[in-house]
Structure 1
Amino acid sequence: MSETSSGKSVTLHDVAREAGVSLITASRALSNPGLVSAKTIARVQEAVAATGYIPNLLAGGLKSRRSLTVAALVPNIAVAQFIPTVKALTDALDTAGYQLILGQTGYDHAREEALLGTMISRRPDGIVVTGLVHAQTSRDLLRRSGIPVVETWDLSDRPVDMAVGFSHLKVGSAVAGYFLGKGWRRFGIATGDDHRAAVRREGFVSTLGHDVPTVRVPSPSSLGLGRQALRELLAQDPRIEAVFCSSDQLAQGVMEEARARGMRVPQDLAICGFGDADFAADMAPALTTVQIDGAAIGQLAADLVLTRCRGETVSTPVVDVGFRIVERGST
């Protein structure tokens, strides 16, 4: 409900009267439009605009046991690699009549735990988390809640409920193999301090069979932190031939610092990023990176949640979207 200028609440009855339809027809036009004609929907929507009616979604949710909302947690919405996932998730849910509520964890496990507790208490119809839920108390709470949960941008053989992502360990291993195939032998790693970046480093080092100079910077990464990382890497080993960066933003900074030092990319220093940000292909030289289909992750996560919301069984609760190394001028 909403209020008129005189303070009187506008109800669905007022909308039905304005549209010249029955109360039940007005209700169906707003909550289940598939049951009425397009002409009737248009009349009801015009009546809503004329009266200023605002539906009480909470009341409808209590009756149907549906809130028509899905909660999502991301480390930081400003991180370029997560934007396609959030957009695809939002679009897919909107098409189905659901709204996305977004929370930012700031790469902080304690904050993630607190946000999950708050979201569960609000009883959304689904929860989508970037990465794996780490706190066992949160995992237990999510399972007891019965809310469909999709962990994304990572994989586990024991997800809380469902998962859509890829192996960060395999990413690191693949980049190490790619570097070795180029004939390089002196490497450096510029990495954020988050868990997923650490796992990629683990895969890289395991494939090499020995440790390499590493600089860890606070997440989220930035161009400035990338410049700082290369300065510190070169202080550890001035003869580094190639650098693996945990994000394209870090790689951009590494390239800028190399350029400022008069180093040629890739002749003096090869650089590989992660995420295939929208600017990666337009850098000079264009940035070699690990491409993840973030939009597919968002769409698949939405599909899993919506399938469960319809009361249907999910045939494949864990989906590996894979990854690929996109070779460009920086290597």
Structure 2
Amino acid sequence: MSDRSDSETSNGTARRGRVSRVTMDMVAEQAKVSPSTVSLFLRDPDAVSSKRAERIRQAIADTGYTINRLAGALAGSHSRAVAVIVPSMINAFFSETLQAMQEVFETRGYQLLISNSDYDPQRELELLRAHLSWSPAALVVTGSDHAAARPLLEATGIPVAQMWELGNDPFHLQVGFYHEAAGAALAEHLHAQGLEHYLYVGTRMHLDHRARKRAEGFSAWLAEKGQAAQVIALEQNTSQAELSEVFEQIARNGSGPQGLCCSNDVLAIAALFEAQRRGIAVPEQLAITGFGDLPLSKLSAPRLTTVRPFPAEIGRTVATRLLSWIEAGTLPDQPEVVDLGFELVVRESSVRG
């Protein structure tokens, strides 16, 4: 008969031994510094001398110490987390913004809580409620249109930033650019090519307010020149059937030179392939533009004319401004609006000889 180990209960069921959590005091003892010095290092590594900082880093590595963020939230009014809601996790624009934002926040000991609203205002509201239950130090939302969530956002008592779009009534911070202006810049460029018909094609524009505003800016600029732009709103993401619908409309417009402005580069590159499949010369018969300046845009044949936003700079600016208010424990007297602008990148897909 085998001996019963201490890790077993009387009925033979295995019981996990208690694991003691490594404390800040243990790290301090091993690093031969005070617990307050360890605490200061965790909040602001640069505030501790390089020799002490190195001993603390080594002690943390040796002991396997992890910061108890929840304990910090209970001791104070907010956690060391910043909640961020984006409309899409797979969109390269937002991924680059999140990475830049995270790099800045991590230098000050803050972590991001990231959620995806899928362009749904009601889902955004639900996510905001969930994030607020964790007492974040600040909130970041995407876009300027938050009618459903405005009462909740106004009552948070913490800094609220809106990114990727300027307009409407800002909360504490808006960082981005005017999408109407981006649409107008594309319209002006295509108009200079001497075209006869203009189309703007976007996906899910009933939810994607920024794509819709670019369409509005595109149409408004052409209207001032006495030209009409047809706007085609695709319900889903790009598909062969939907592109066929667009090109059937292009065929109905006649044989004269036309301009096709797409709400994003993915759609524009798909249009380039479809034009090639149909034997339509780009840009002689059909000038095509996009938005986003994705890496493939400069590799397509012909290379794609597009608008280049500054996603990393948006993320860094949001994080830097928010950190100044978080660490000061204050809110700005007036909303701050930072217009980072955009760049029109002209390539072969739209320039007619």
Same fold (TM over 0.5): yes
Instruction: Report the Cα distance in structure 2 between the residues aligned to 1:32 and 1:12, rounded to whole angstroms.
Output: 15
DSSP 3-state at the match of 2:57:
helix
Corresponding position of 2:7: none
Shift of 1:222: 4.5
Structure 2: state its 5+ residue gaps: 1-15
Match of 1:95 in 2: 107
Of 287-296 and 35-44, deviating more is 35-44
Say if 2:107 is the partner of 1:71.
Answer: no
Secondary structure of 1:310's match?
helix
- 1:153 and 1:229 mapped to 2: Cα distance? 30
Q: 1:100 to 1:238 in 2, by over 3 A?
A: farther
CA contact (8 A) 1:133 1:160 kept: no
Q: What is the one-letter code of the residue matched to 1:199?
A: K
Partner residue, 2:299: 282
Aligned ranges for residues 60-139 of structure 1 at < 5 Å? 60-136=72-148, 138-139=149-150
Query: 1:297-329, CA deviations, whole angstroms, 9 ceiling, x for partnerless residues?
Result: 111111221121122665870111122311101
Residue range with higher mean Cα deviation, 157-166 or 296-305 = 157-166
SS in 2 for 1:325: strand
Residue of structure 1 in register with 2:341 after alignment: 322
Matched with 1:199 is 213
User: Which of 237, 250, 254 is equivalent to 2:253?
Assistant: 237
Q: Secondary structure at the match of 1:7?
A: coil
Report the Cα distance in structure 2 between the residues aligned to 1:130 and 1:13, rounded to whole angstroms.
41
Preserved contact between residue 230 and residue 257 of structure 1 (Cα < 8 Å)? no
Identify if the C-alpha distance between structure 1 residues 224 and 292 changes in structure 2 by more than 3 Å, giving closer, same or farther. farther
- Mapped contact 2:170–2:335 kept (Cα < 8 A): no
The 1:189/1:32 distance shift into structure 2, 3 A limit, reads: closer
- Change in CA separation of 1:150 and 1:203 when aligned onto 2, cut-off 3 Å: same
Q: Which residue is 1:294 aligned to?
A: 311
Q: CA RMSD in A?
A: 2.4
Q: State the shift of 1:244 in Å.
A: 0.3
1:29–1:41 CA contact under 8 A, matched in 2? yes
Letter in 2 for 1:286: R
Equivalent residue runs for 1:176-255 within 5 Å:
176-192=187-203, 193=205, 194-209=208-223, 211-218=228-235, 221-222=237-238, 227-228=243-244, 230-234=246-250, 236-239=252-255, 241-255=258-272
Report SS of the residue matched to 1:145: coil
- Paired residues in the alignment total 326
- Please identify, of 157-166 and 306-315, the stretch whose mean Cα deviation from structure 2 is larger: 306-315
What's the CA shift for 1:10? 2.5
**SS of 2:99's equivalent?**
helix
Kept in 2: contact 1:16–1:26 (CA 8 A): yes
**Equivalent residue in structure 1 for 2:153, among 128, 142, 150:** 142
Which one of 166, 187, 193 corresponds to residue 155 of structure 1?
Answer: 166
Assess if the C-alpha contact under 8 Å between 1:229 and 1:254 holds in 2: no
State the Cα deviation string for residues 49-99 of structure 1 (Å, max 9, x = none): 222222212212333434221111111121122232222211121222211
Q: Report the Cα offset of residue 157 of structure 1.
A: 4.8
Instruction: Quickly say closer, same or farther: Cα 1:296–1:31, change in 2 above 3 A.
Output: closer
TM-score normalised per structure 1: 0.89
Q: Name the CA shift for 1:228/1:91 in 2 (closer, same or farther; >3 Å).
A: farther
Structure 2 residue matching 1:279: 3-state secondary structure: helix
Give the TM-score of the pair, scaled to structure 2: 0.84
Displacement of 1:18? 2.7
- Structure 1: gaps of 5 or more residues: none
Q: Which amino acid aligns with 2:111?
A: Q
Give the drift of 1:235. Answer: 5.3
Deviates more, 1:302-311 or 1:229-238: 229-238
- Once the 2 structures are TM-superposed, how far is the Cα of residue 148 of structure 1 from its aligned partner? 0.7
Alignment partners' CA distance in 2, 1:304 and 1:25 = 27
